[in-house]
Structure 1
Amino acid sequence: MTAGERRIAHFDLDTFFVSVERKHDRRLNGVPVIVGGGTRGVVASCSYEARVFGVRSGMSMRQARVLCPDAIVVSGDHELYSKESRLVTQVIADSAPLYEKASIDEFYMDVSGMGTYCSSARKFLTELKGKIHQHTGLPITYALASNKLVSKVATNEVKPNGKAEIFFGEEKSYLAPLRVEKMPGIGEKTSLVLKDWGIKTIKLLSETPVEILTHKFGKAGSDMSRKANGIDESPVIPFSEQKSISTEATYDNDTIDVQFLRGQLIRMTEKISFELRQQAKLTGCVTVKIKYADFTTVTKQCSIGYTASDDVLISTAKDLFDRLYDRRILVRLVGIRYSDLVAGHPQISLFEQTQETVRLYQTLDEIRKKFGAGAVMRAIGVEKKK
């Protein structure tokens, strides 16, 4: 299928955390709202009324309160946000022929071949937008283009509660006047380097020789050049609740040492939590598995708010193990699995953590990337000979 035949829509829930809070508390409508935690925490999300004052996601709560002292601060409820995300997912799953859940609050859909000049696709997307709002009460924006990149950029440009369509052949001209930081994948550091070179718009980026970009940024430089020219062949990856990541350990000597088993479970949890973050994913379901010496296998699972946080996942795994291990006989194997995976980063847990905690986990992950997943872990998770 050629680029001209591809029609990719991007749906993005507007200020998702704030919208969910407003759905459950109408007193928050029309006023500045910040979702975050404490004075040492960071902003997980904020309303458009708060953004007028300069408040942004990832900013320290202390700074946000200075910029917008009249804002209403909500501590956040990631279990509730995950529940609302699943409601939206179900509406889309019941209607869309092919969709990808890109994160807790955004989706891609391949609506190619729905009709000449996209009239059928446009009608379908408009109706789906209304259906999502009708069934969930949440505002959502979408954009339709020939690829995922342009549809995502366009969605961000027409928020909140908007819709847009970029026709085939207009990708490069549409992107051209936008600032380089509007391009997905170009963060603060990269945009500063580009601006130091005098490259402030995507048009100027598209005109920069790819050799210069690759010399400075490596493969990311060539990807940057292609994106600046509106080129993106990445497919819509069908969403599946069955995607998972797991690990398990079989012991040479069966054991009834509960402290040892808990320690092993924590070690495994930390290991695959790190893998989860490396893949830029969040999990919404944890399963613990036990195989007894008589080969009887039992499992117990729990749906949770989407997260990649060690603290949350370890606490969940320990609780599942304690509820599951009730036979008090020798254990042969213990395992853990994360499923209901979605793309995303740990922002959803920002309101639970201080900036110091966030930096600590980032540092620990950097050590793991350099020396291996088992380079650093909690003391109870250190494996002992049995």
Structure 2
Amino acid sequence: MTSLCRDCLHHAEAAFRSCPSCGSGRVVTHAELLALSIAHVDCDAFFASVEKRDDPSLRGKPVLIGGGRRGVVAAACYVARTRGVRSAMPMFKALEACPDAVVIKPNMAKYATCARQLRAMMEALTPLVQPLSIDEAVLDLSGTEALHRAPPAVTLARFALAVEREVGVTVSIGLASNRLLAKIAAGRDKPRGFAVIGAEARALLASEPVRLLPGIGPAAAQRLARAGIVTLGQLGSLDAKAALRFGEDGPALAARARGEDNRPVDPVRETKSISAETTFDADLATAEALEAPLWRLCERLARRLAEKGFAAGGVVLKLKTADFASRTRAARLPTPSSVPETLFAAIRPLLAREVDGTAFRLIGIGAAPLVPALGADAGDLADPDAPRRAARWKAVEALRAKFGEGVLGAGRGLRPKR
């Protein structure tokens, strides 16, 4: 066995519960600790942690990140989680479970800035960093021991301490031989966790429910349960022929249940779509009422496209009715664009066709397919004004960056007075 102190980084070929060097109890012990190199890094309640970092008065209080009572919880701190609150829970249910929670509207610009800082710190460890979301990534630290003068486990523990010191949030780390096991490990010891899964993976997973496996949702779990399969051990025991009863992915599903995963860490992960949406405080049914938030979403989408170096080859409209039924409509753009005016002009007719007296609780807009920003909004004979619209939008963004978001805005995006 090898043990590592996560506070002073002392490590030795021995099993100890408290560090013989500094006395800390934050010790991780595993036979393969210094041999494994695939890590899953997951920020702990990221949005809420950033808000608590910036406002010390929130420490110790239940904090929820999200919209009004009709929205959903984007993030819940661990204090709120002890009351039964979870991400994606309707806000009104979260407040029933935790009525004293402090609710904060998301500040995505602030979270993105923090995420970029974290990403830079990860990329200083290895070039093989694959972002999975704004607050988690998988890293391959194979071959980095000479660079960091330490095995990957020690490098990761040092990284976690640096994140707390320099960024002010905490992370949980899973270390394993592949991406699947690293992800599962990262969720076993949150928050501020460091868990390792090695050769014992199959035995460790055998008694776990099938829902533990990423990709198995409620419907898939029910289908497996009807066949008498409720644990990963039962699923993993199926041979390839028997697993085919669950579709073409059945054999691969059984392999994952045994902890097998040959996916590489790919830093060039393709982004397929970029979107933005909002849930209303009260249902909206008229075109006039819906177009204002739609315009604001077009501006938000244009900003996200610019940040990622993309333009929209088409637009997608998403609506959710008061009874939670979803409607999705799409249209291609004549030429790629990342300018709000062009996006709005393309999606506005889609909205007009859906305004039939139905009350909507949510509206969203997406860009798909995505194309490189280079060459977008260049203008042609059919649309010679495209370059001017692009220049105008860049000027607006420059003013907002200098003087604040509210310095300039289009009338169509104004919120109605109450």
Q: Which TM-score band (shorter chain)? A: 0.5 to 0.7
C-alpha deviation, 1:236, in angstroms? 0.5
SS, match of residue 38 in structure 1: coil
Q: Does 1:142 pair with 2:230?
A: no
Q: Residues 4-153 of structure 1: matches in 2 within 5 Å?
A: 7-115=37-145, 120-153=151-184
8 Å CA contact 2:311–2:376 kept in 1: the answer is no
1:227-273 C-alpha deviation (Å, 9 max, x unpaired): 1011111011125897756537469xxxxxx98896258799x9962
1:225 positional shift: 0.8
Equivalent of residue 224 in structure 1, options 224, 228, 253: 253
Matches within 5 A, 1:1-386: 7-115=37-145, 120-167=151-198, 169-216=199-246, 218-239=247-268, 244=310, 246-247=312-313, 249=334, 263-264=345-346, 273-275=367-369, 289-291=377-379, 322-323=392-393
Aligned partners of 1:66, 1:32: CA distance in 2, in Å?
13
Aligned residues: 287
> How far off is 1:152 after superposition?
0.3
Q: Distance in 2 between matches of 1:24 and 1:259?
A: 35
> Contact conserved, 1:245 with 1:272, CA < 8 A, in 2?
no
Change (3 A) 1:260 1:5: closer
- AA at the equivalent of 2:70: R
Higher mean alpha-carbon deviation, 90-99 vs 102-111, is at 90-99
**Does the C-alpha gap of structure 1 residues 200 and 288 become closer, same or farther in structure 2, counting only changes over 3 Å?**
same
* Structure 2, unpaired ranges of 5+: 1-33, 270-306, 314-332, 351-363, 397-418
Is 2:180–2:259's contact at 8 Å kept on the other side of the alignment?
yes
Structure showing greater Rg: 2
Distance 1:144 1:190, change over 3 A: same
2:393 alignment partner, SS class? helix
Shift in alpha-carbon separation, 1:210–1:138, aligned structure 2, 3 A: same
* Cα drift, residue 187 of structure 1: 1.4
Q: Secondary structure at the match of 1:34?
A: strand
Q: Structure 1 residues 60 and 210 mapped into 2: Cα distance closer, same or farther (>3 Å)?
A: farther
The 2-side partners of 1:129 and 1:103 are apart by 18
Question: Partners of 2:342 and 2:64 in 1: how far apart?
Answer: 43
Amino acid at match of 1:170: E
Q: Distance in 2 between matches of 1:206 and 1:129?
A: 33
Shift in Å, 1:156? 0.7
Task: Write the letter of the residue equivalent to 2:172.
Answer: T
Please tell me the residue identity of whatever aligns with 1:232: D
Matches of 2:82 and 2:234 in 1, distance apart? 28
CA-CA distance at 1:111 after TM superposition: 1.1
Note the C-alpha offset of 1:298. Answer: 9.0
Tell me which of the two structures has the higher relative contact order, counting C-alpha pairs closer than 8 angstroms and 6 or more residues apart.
Answer: 1
Does the 8 Å contact 2:239/2:251 carry over to 1? no
Change (3 A) 1:74 1:211: farther
The 1:219/1:323 distance shift into structure 2, 3 A limit, reads same
- How far is 1:286 from its partner? 11
Unaligned runs of 5+ in 1: 252-257, 277-282, 301-317, 327-386
Q: State the shift of 1:321 in Å.
A: 6.3
Measure, in 1, the Cα distance between the counterparts of 2:347 and 2:133: 27
Which structure's residues are more often helix, by fraction?
1
Distance in 2 (alpha carbons) for counterparts of 1:151 and 1:30: 30
Residues 259 and 186 of structure 1: is their aligned pair in 2 closer, same or farther, counting only changes over 3 Å? closer
Q: Post-superposition shift, 1:70?
A: 2.0
TM-score (norm 1): 0.63
Asked if the contact 1:298/1:324 (under 8 Å) is kept, the reply is: no
Q: Name the CA distance, whole Å, in 1 between partners of 2:96 and 2:164.
A: 34
Q: Give CA deviations for 1:299-318 in whole Å, capped at 9, x if unaligned.
A: 79xxxxxxxxxxxxxxxxx8
Distance 1:259 1:243 in 2: 18
CA deviations over 1:199-222 (Å, ceiling 9, x no partner): 332222212444444323x23322
User: Residue type matched to 2:378 in 1?
Assistant: I
Contact 1:14 1:140 in 2 (8 A): yes
SS of alignment partner, residue 93 of structure 2 = helix
2:180 partner letter: L
2:21 corresponds to which residue?
none
- Alpha-carbon distance in 1 for matches of 2:342, 2:79: 52
Identity percentage of aligned residues: 31
Please state whether the residue corresponding to 1:96 is helix, strand or coil. coil
1:134-163 Cα deviation digits (max 9, x unpaired): 221110011111100000000011111111
Partner of 1:314: none
Aligned-partner Cα distance in 2 for 1:99–1:126: 17
**Partners in 1 of 2:341 and 2:64 — Cα distance?**
41
Q: Is the 8 A contact 1:50 1:71 kept in 2?
A: yes
Q: Name the aligned partner's letter for residue 377 of structure 2.
A: K
After superposition, the C-alpha distances for 1:170-229 in whole angstroms (9 at most, x for unaligned) are 22123223222121111122223333444332222212444444323x233222211101
Per mean C-alpha deviation after superposition, the further-off stretch among 27-36 and 138-147 is 27-36
Q: CA RMSD in A?
A: 3.9
